[in-house]
Structure 1
Amino acid sequence: MLKEFKEFALKGNVVDMAVGIIVGGAFGSIVNTLVSEVMMPPLGLLTGGVDFSNLYVVMKEGVEPGPYAALANARAAGAVTLNYGLFLNALVSFTIMAFSVFILVKAINRLRQKADAAPAPPSKKTCPYCLTLVPQQASRCPACTSELPGAADPGARVAAK
């Protein structure tokens, strides 16, 4: 059983997934910091100095009656609050994260398509006498009527039909 677990845990897919989860977690914290510390303060200034993390509605006052100066004060007083400002921060974080993942997946898919796309066999060849492009199966050039080398005997094609 230990051997089976070791084989499972050390498979390439599991290790790749673990690395992805760790990097994703680190990326998530970077995006959250970007939103809360870089994007939301200027947005708050544009909206009249509003601190989005302190936007809330008191649903039930706590031990001390309100109004509360900040969400931390309301929580300390034991008030029940609806924290829509924190939700807005999370929504912006999610949008940035989802867009970043979308761009990453799109780039990876584009690279995969380029790698998977094998070149199609040529559908035309060049007549060695007049350099006209002719269909690959042609036995004679339509421009100079020369017999093309490597073409099947036209009589053999008729007999085969």
Structure 2
Amino acid sequence: MLKEFKNFIMTGNVIDLAVAVILAGAVGLVVSGFVSNIMMPIIGHFAGGVDFADMKVVLDEAIVAADGTVSKPENAIMYGKWVNAIINLIIVGFVLFMIVKAYNKTKTPVEEAPAEPAGPTQEELLMEIRDALKK
């Protein structure tokens, strides 16, 4: 069983998949950094200086004790982080679309071999037999 597992792990498909997962993680970090650090400030600038990550609906205010400690934290719906995640998804999807589109352009189209000419149909064979019998 150990030998079979070794053969399975050493096949090209598993190694290719492992490389793809590692690269996907690295690309994900790069794209997330790009979105958070470059795109979101630009979008926030054009949206009137709004930082989407800070947008929220407060359900319960935080309760602060007399000594300044928070006795009950704020309860809020952080929809701005969700907006950031949606924008991140759209940008990642677009980047992956462009990568796949560029990759597909590099592949050479597979030319199909011309189909073999089909033999005579049953009707044609019957007509030939009929014509031969008439002679």
TM-score w.r.t. length of structure 2:
0.69
Query: How far has the Cα of 1:118 moved from its partner?
Result: 5.7
Q: State the percentage of identical aligned residues.
A: 39
Does residue 82 of structure 1 match 2:77?
A: yes
Bigger CA radius of gyration = 1
Q: CA deviation at 1:47?
A: 1.9
The amino acid that maps onto 1:117 is E
By relative contact order (CA 8 Å, sep 6+), the higher-ranking structure is 2
1:96-107 correspondence to structure 2 within 5 Å: 96-107=91-102
Any gaps of 5 or more consecutive residues in structure 1? 66-73, 121-161
Give the Cα separation in 2 of the matches to 1:59 and 1:8.
53
For 2:41 and 2:72, locate their aligned partners in 1 and report how far apart those are by CA, in whole Å. Answer: 26
Corresponding residue for residue 51 of structure 2: 51
Q: Output the CA distance in 1 between the equivalents of 2:80 and 2:34.
A: 16
Q: Deviations over 1:99-140 (max 9, x none)?
A: 11112222333333x2422686xxxxxxxxxxxxxxxxxxxx
Supply the RMSD in Å over aligned alpha carbons. Answer: 2.8
Structure 2 segments unaligned to the other structure (5+ residues): 115-135
Q: Secondary structure at the match of 1:30?
A: helix
